[in-house]
Amino acid sequence: MTSLKNDLFLRACKKLPIERTPIWIMRQAGRYLREYRAVREKADFLTMCKTPELAAEVTIQPVDIIGVDAAIIFSDILVIPEAMGMTLEMIESKGPKLYDPIRNIDQIDKLKKIDPTQDLNYVLNAVSLTKKELNNRVPLIGFSGSPWTLMTYMVEGGGSKNFSEIKKFIYNQPKAAHKLLDLISDNVADYLSAKIEAGVNAVQIFDTWGGILSPNDFNEFSLQYIQKVISKINRNDEPIIVFAKGVHFLLDKLATSGADVIGLDWTMNLGEVRNKIGDKVALQGNLDPTILYADDEKIKEETKNILSSYGFGSGHIFNLGHGILPDVNPSKAKYLVEVVKKESKIFHKV
């Protein structure tokens, strides 16, 4: 940590004393930035992910442009299913498509246990290059989808409105589902371990679709596999963040999953969650992303409300409660960062 010029994010993850609350923004390298769109005109999305020079360039853009306290490597969670043998296409304005979605155990038997240094080497190269170009200015975060979220995409074949195929799969073929989740868990753990080896300072596990499960099903099909991934990651003191969108009901179990930080969506009260689990883990979040459509006064008011809700002391990383939306004015994101940096100082005594 000490080699970084700005290690506020890492210290907050570990609940160590800090001078102010750090901030980064989910999807901060993305379409809302003019500079990102200029790079995107040169290459399609997957080509950007697979070209280390382009991935590094857009990863660093938010650090330079809006002043965030951490960078997150530009990639996509679906590079893992692709590396396992599925065909992935990113369809403009529609989202991802995975061909021949998984519907039975025979298809699972054809999927591969990946070697990240071979199958996802382009991501590791992007990490190495980004680290070099960041020159220790801020920490670099690596990420993956959770096993459950990745399986959901693999079974549905893309996004979904009602998640009928994945629900049919887990209820009618539970053994197949658990077999696939085991394989994905091994791949995710190896992938995140390889990212740490390549130089990331922290990793985040996105359980985007955890909230579509009942509490019992979340326990069975998501939480135990998040725990398995965390237990198998090779790390030194690199923090692990778990962001399970919509999972209000098992925060206490998430807090004992082995994660250092729990990310919260905007529907949760930060102060109440701190009272419930904040002695066990640091918390990340949780401004409603649509607040960035508002005027500066409203942005400042809501930001101060979140800072006040968490209260005094370390253990809070400011973030949005989900990804920044693509039509947000970058000046609003920059203003948010400035407000957090200024207004959070009163909550920290070093």
List phi, psi (to 5°) of 97.
Answer: -135, 125
Query: What is the rounded distance in angstroms from the CA atom of residue 139 to the CA atom of residue 200?
Result: 7
Closest CA to 200 of 279, 244, 139, 284: 139
pLDDT value of position 115: 98
Structural domain contains residue 2: no
Structural domain contains residue 206: yes
Total domains in the chain come to 1
Query: What is the rounded distance in angstroms from the CA atom of residue 199 to the CA atom of residue 193?
Result: 10
Structural domain contains residue 1: no
pLDDT, tens digit (0-9, with 9 covering 90-100), for 15-43:
999 999 999 999 999 999 999 999 999 99
Range of the domain at 233: 8-347
Mean pLDDT of 66-80: 98
pLDDT value of position 91: 87
- Structure token digits, residue 131: 């680290």
Which residues neighbour 248 within 8 Å (Cβ) at sequence distance 6 or greater?
Answer: 267, 268
Q: Is 256 annotated as a binding residue?
A: no
pTM summary value: 0.96
Q: Is pLDDT at 211 greater than 80 in this prediction? A: yes
Q: Is 199 annotated as a binding residue?
A: no
Q: Is pLDDT at 274 greater than 90 in this prediction? A: yes
Q: Is 31 annotated as a binding residue?
A: yes
Mean pLDDT of 57-75: 98
Catalytic annotation, residues: 27, 31, 40, 76, 153
DSSP string for residues in 169-232: HHHH-HHHHHHHHHHHHHHHHHHHHHHHHHT-SEEEEEETTGGGS-HHHHIIIIIHHHHHHHHH
Q: Any bridge partners for residue 97, and if so which?
A: 89, 158
Query: What is the rounded distance in angstroms from the CA atom of residue 38 to the CA atom of residue 106?
Result: 43
Mean pLDDT of 178-182: 98
Quick one: pLDDT band at residue 3, thresholds 50, 70, 90? confident
Mean pLDDT of 177-196: 98
Structural domain contains residue 3: no
What is the CATH number for 241? 3.20.20.210
Q: Is 171 annotated as a binding residue?
A: no
Q: What percent of the chain has pLDDT over 70?
A: 99
Structural domain contains residue 58: yes
Q: What mean pLDDT, rounded, does the chain reach?
A: 96
Quick one: pLDDT band at residue 8, thresholds 50, 70, 90? very high
Structural domain contains residue 106: yes
Q: Is pLDDT at 349 greater than 60 in this prediction? A: yes
Query: What is the rounded distance in angstroms from the CA atom of residue 129 to the CA atom of residue 39?
Result: 17
Query: What is the rounded distance in angstroms from the CA atom of residue 232 to the CA atom of residue 322?
Result: 27
Closest CA to 227 of 197, 285, 182: 182
Calculate the alpha carbon distances from 265 to 131, 163, 196, 285 in Å: 29, 20, 26, 7
Q: Is 11 annotated as a binding residue?
A: no
- Structure token digits, residue 233: 């990651």
Structural domain contains residue 337: yes
Instruction: Let me know: does 147 contact 213? Beta carbons within 8 Å.
Output: no
Q: Is 274 annotated as a binding residue?
A: no
Q: Is pLDDT at 2 greater than 60 in this prediction? A: no
Structural domain contains residue 50: yes
Closest CA to 153 of 180, 134, 127: 180
Q: Is pLDDT at 1 greater than 70 in this prediction? A: no
Q: Is pLDDT at 338 greater than 90 in this prediction? A: yes
Q: Is 27 annotated as a binding residue?
A: yes
Quick one: pLDDT band at residue 94, thresholds 50, 70, 90? confident
Which residues neighbour 85 within 8 Å (Cβ) at sequence distance 6 or greater?
Answer: 110, 111, 112
Q: Is 61 annotated as a binding residue?
A: no
Mean pLDDT of 262-283: 96
pLDDT value of position 350: 61
